[in-house]
Amino acid sequence: MDTLKQLFFEKAQAHAKEMKEMLKEHGTLQVDEVTVDQIVGGMRDITSMLWEPSLLDAEEGIRFRGFSIPELKEKLPTAPNGKEPLPEGLFWLMLTGNIPTEEEVKWLTDAWVKRSQVPDSVFRAIEALPVETHPMTQFSVGILSMQNTSVFAERYASGFNKSEYWDATYEDTMNLIARLPRVAAYIYNRIYRNGEQTLPDFTLDWGGNFAHMLGFKDEGFKEYMRLFLTIHADHEGGNASAHTCHLVGSTLSDPYLSLSASMNALAGPLHGLANQEVIRWIQKMVDTLGTSKPTHEQIADYVKDTLASGRVIPGYGHAVLRKPDPRFTAQRAFASANAAENDLVNTVWKIFDVVPPILSSLGKVKNPWPNVDAHSGALLLHYGMNEYNYYTVIFGVSRALGVLAAQCWSRALGLPLERPKSVTTAWLQEYIKERATAQ
Ligand code: CMX
């Protein structure tokens, strides 16, 4: 058994024992209540799901196994001469709860290199799609087309013991994560580089090699990619991409089926697609105003026009957060150090000055602050990646780390099929009537 698998197995076994005892003693303890608003309003804030890799606090933002983003930046290993955390380190942390050493991260980089061979049939499946198909659709198809290599599906078909589900899930997770950068880069080069592929450089780390395969030589871009792939990896379990992976996986669909579904959720404009929408929206503003340096007043007028036309301001608002997203703040700090002169970056910062008071003045927006998607596009563009339809794919490569680490835990803890209760409006009306008569 490899080092990471052994460590995960030991942690998971101890955890499963504790969980069993907790359920035996406290299984009936009430944790939450549900209102009519929550049933109709997208199940906001209902505590009803187990998710080990990370936990979100509305005021403070995300913590991965207890560590905030600034703490991760301090504690996780970096590339040689680099300053940004390596996503390998975050995956190790999410899976085991331990901050890895440099040697452990190096081991993981090498393990992913060894597993990174992508079957040719995957490229053929992608090539069968019209080239103008959205990159997220191509990505989802690429992931799905690897499902025939699922260790979980193969072992399930031959009838394996449920105590071994975690093992096959771990194998699929490691293989999938190892292959994703190549699949994602293939799609980028297919669509935007006339099919000219850059082959992997196996001397690089996972994120650095992804940047390399996308055709970017700049060390700054590689560093940004490491930061990007770390901070987008997980945001507890209730967000649409994580929840989708969890739900699909709960039917014992294997990690390929689950991740492909998760990517389809990430591809929605209220979720991951917002990073492309932010840049589309800013570029339209810049084109309309005829300047790459809009003033605060010009931005405010443009924001009001967008709202008046019944559209949202992309990159702002959040279903859970109630403060500026620390993932936005981390990218702002990176931009201050590396791209402070860039017009687009400066426009993103001016939008940050302008949008929150306007959204607050509407009186209905619960969180007027920027989310993770408000800043990423400006930095990608700074390094020359101007194909904004592709941005969500990079988010997806990162998100795989969190949702698949969570799937390993779900199978190790033997979590059951997810099946919440739904009701009809007539049922709610009847319930309200009954409660009124009872009072
Ligand atoms: N611009 C304009 N209006 C907004 C808004 C925004 N950025 N954010 C929220 N609102 C509106 C909602 O549309 C809703 O209006 P109605 O009552 O007329 O339907 C009202 O304010 C209340 O919404 P909320 O409770 O504050 O927010 P939700 O939990 O319903 O939605 C989110 C959260 C992210 C979908 C929403 O803020 C939004 O649409 N933001 C823009 C898209 C975006 O940036 N998404 C990325 C989120 C991060 C990610 O998942 O990647």
Gap between the Cα atoms of 190 and 192, Å rounded: 6
Same domain, 106 and 75: yes
212 is catalytic: no
Q: Is 261 a member of any domain?
A: yes
Answer yes or no: is pLDDT of 28 > 90. yes
Ligand 1 centroid to Cα of residue 188, in Å, is: 29
Average pLDDT on 129-148 reads 98
Structural domain includes residue 29: no
CATH number of the domain bearing residue 164: 1.10.580.10
Mean pLDDT of 123-133: 98
- Are 255 and 332 found together in one domain? no
Q: What is the domain range of residue 362?
A: 277-382
Q: Check whether residue 132 and residue 170 sit in a common domain.
A: yes
Number of the ligand 1 atom closest to the C-alpha atom of 272: 51
Give me the percent of the chain exceeding a pLDDT of 70.
Answer: 100
- Of the candidates 332, 360, 382, which is a domain's last residue? 382
> Which residue, among 331, 102, 381, has the nearest Cα to 226 in the 3D structure?
331
pLDDT at 103: 98
Q: Do the domain assignments include residue 350?
A: yes
Burial 232-269 (b: 16+ CB within 10 A, else e): bbbbbbbbbbbbbbbbbbbebbbbbbbbbbbbbbbbee
**CA angle, residues 237, 240, 245, in degrees to nearest 5:** 65
Spot the catalytic one: 243, 318, 375, 382. Answer: 318
Tally the C-alpha atoms within 13 A of residue 291's C-alpha that lie toward its C-beta: 9
Q: Indicate if 129 and 69 belong to the same structural domain.
A: yes
216 and 231: one domain?
yes
Tens digits of per-residue pLDDT, 236-263?
999 999 999 999 999 999 999 999 999 9
**Alpha carbon of 37 to ligand 1 centroid (Å):** 16
Q: Is residue 420 part of a domain?
A: no
Residues 337 and 281 in one domain: yes
Report the CATH number at residue 353: 1.10.230.10
8 Å CB contact between 60 and 323: yes
Cα angle vertex 178, ends 383, 134, to 5°? 55
Please determine, for residue 212, whether its predicted confidence score (pLDDT) is greater than 90: yes
**Per-residue pLDDT, 262:** 98
**Residue 198 pLDDT:** 97
Is the model's pLDDT at 425 over the cut of 90? Answer: yes
Same domain, 239 and 307: no
Mutation choice for ligand 1 from 234, 236, 318, 369, CB with most ligand atoms inside 8 A: 318
Question: Distance between CA atoms of 330 and 375, rounded to whole angstroms?
Answer: 10
**What residues have CB less than 8 Å from 121, skipping those under 6 apart?**
145, 148
Using most ligand atoms within 8 A of CB, pick from 44, 46, 263, 270 the residue to mutate for ligand 1: 270
In a domain, 35, yes or no: no
What is the chain's mean pLDDT, rounded?
97
Q: Are residues 349 and 219 in the same domain?
A: no
Average pLDDT over residues 284-300: 97
What value does the mean pLDDT take over residues 357-361? 98
| Domain termination residue (choose one: 382, 399, 425) | 382
Q: Whose CA is nearest to atom 22 of ligand 1?
A: 365
Distance CA 252, CA 217 (A): 41
Ligand 1 atom closest to residue 325's alpha carbon, by position in its atom list: 48
At 119 the three-state DSSP class reads coil
Residue 106, helix vs strand vs coil: helix
Same-domain status, 341 and 269: no
Instruction: Please say which residue of 333, 359, 382 terminates a domain.
Output: 382
Q: Are 346 and 399 within one domain?
A: no
Ligand 1: residue of 316, 320, 323, 359 to mutate (most ligand atoms within 8 A of CB) is 316
Nearest-CA residue for ligand 1 atom 25 is 366
For residues 38 and 45, the answer to whether their CB atoms sit within 8 Å is yes
CA angle 227, 233, 239 (to 5 degrees): 135
**Pick from 243, 273, 270: nearest CA to 258:** 243
Indicate the pLDDT class of residue 172, thresholds 50, 70 and 90. very high
Atom of ligand 1 nearest to the CA of 395: 51
- Residue 311 Cα to ligand 1 middle (Å): 10
The answer for residues whose C-beta is within 8 angstroms of residue 61's C-beta and 6 or more apart is 68, 69, 321, 323, 325, 326, 327
In tens, the pLDDT along 40-95 reads 999 999 999 999 999 999 999 999 999 999 999 999 999 999 999 999 999 999 99
Q: Is 382 a catalytic residue?
A: no
| Residue 398 counted as domain residue | yes
- Extract the tokens encoding 90: 């975050």
Residue 375 bears catalytic tag: no
Residue 437 placed within a domain: no
301 alpha carbon to ligand 1 midpoint, in Å?
20
List ligand 1's pocket residues with C-beta within 6 A.
239, 270-272, 274, 307, 312-319, 359, 364-367, 371-373
Task: With respect to residue 423, please indicate whether it lies within any of the assigned structural domains.
Answer: no
Are residues 391 and 343 both part of a single domain? no
Q: Tell me what pLDDT residue 439 has.
A: 83
CB atoms within 10 A of CB 155: 17
Do 325 and 187 lie in one domain? The reply is no
317 CA → ligand 1 middle, Å: 5
Number of domains in the chain: 2
CB count in 10 Å sphere of residue 385: 21
* Alpha carbon of 362 to ligand 1 centroid (Å): 12
In a 13 Å sphere around the CA of 74, the CA atoms on its Cβ side amount to 5
Residue 320 CA: nearest ligand 1 atom is 29
C-alpha of 235 from chain center: 7
